């Protein structure tokens, strides 16, 4: 099976020079693990959030974005998540990658240097050219969903 790949230039910043590059933990991983490039440690108390630097910057090619997502094990076991999920890193951004972590759990979470804190996913995107219209042409779809809105399809399967 072939794997789609692109080259993405990455710059290590001084405070992340000794850390591993983001990496795919398994051959089938969609996301690369990002490490905390902090000195010492950060304690996230329940309900708190903190911006954690990763010590790298990227030069994404046009047509691609990087998405920052939580790590499922940290979310389940400790209640740690990433705010603004998925966070988008635009192709024209060259600053440091940072992750907004939040503790939704009941216990303090200790973030240590080099801890794998989030996932980085590289994905293609398209930009839309919006065209203002006075009405939509497909009335069947418009009448089916536009009025009911959020939750309109129910909670359980009807099959």
**What are the CA-CA distances from residue 125 to residues 23, 115, 128, 142 (Å)?**
22, 29, 10, 26
**What are the CA-CA distances from residue 150 to residues 139, 140, 153, 159 (Å)?**
19, 18, 8, 21
Choice between 36 and 84, residue whose per-residue pLDDT is larger? 36
Query: What average pLDDT is seen over the chain?
Result: 91
Q: Is residue 59 part of a domain?
A: yes
CATH number at residue 25: 2.70.40.10
Q: Is residue 3 part of a domain?
A: no
The CA R_g of the chain, rounded to the nearest whole Å, is: 20
What pTM, to 2 d.p., does this model score?
Answer: 0.86
Domain that holds residue 14: 10-127
Please compute the mean of the pLDDT values over residues 115-144 and round it to a whole number: 85
Q: Is residue 140 part of a domain?
A: no
Choice between 158 and 129, residue whose per-residue pLDDT is larger? 129
Please state whether 155 falls in left (phi above 0), alpha (psi between -120 and 50) or beta.
alpha
């Amino acid at each position: 099976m072939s794997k789609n790949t692109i080259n993405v230039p990455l710059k290590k910043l001084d405070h992340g020079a000794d850390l591993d590059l983001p990496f795919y933990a398994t051959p089938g991983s969609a996301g690369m693990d990002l490490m905390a490039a902090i000195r010492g440690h950060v304690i996230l108390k329940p309900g708190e959030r903190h911006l954690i630097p990763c010590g790298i910057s990227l030069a994404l090619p046009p047509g691609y974005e990087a998405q920052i997502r939580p790590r499922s094990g940290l979310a389940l076991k400790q209640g740690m998540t990433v705010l603004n999920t998925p966070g988008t890193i635009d192709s024209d951004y060259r600053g440091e990658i940072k992750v907004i972590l939040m503790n939704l759990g009941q216990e303090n979470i200790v973030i240590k240097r080099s801890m794998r804190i989030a996932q980085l996913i590289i994905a293609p995107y398209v930009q839309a050219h919006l065209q203002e219209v006075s009405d939509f042409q497909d009335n069947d779809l418009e009448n089916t969903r536009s009025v009911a809105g959020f939750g309109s399809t129910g909670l359980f399967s009807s099959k």
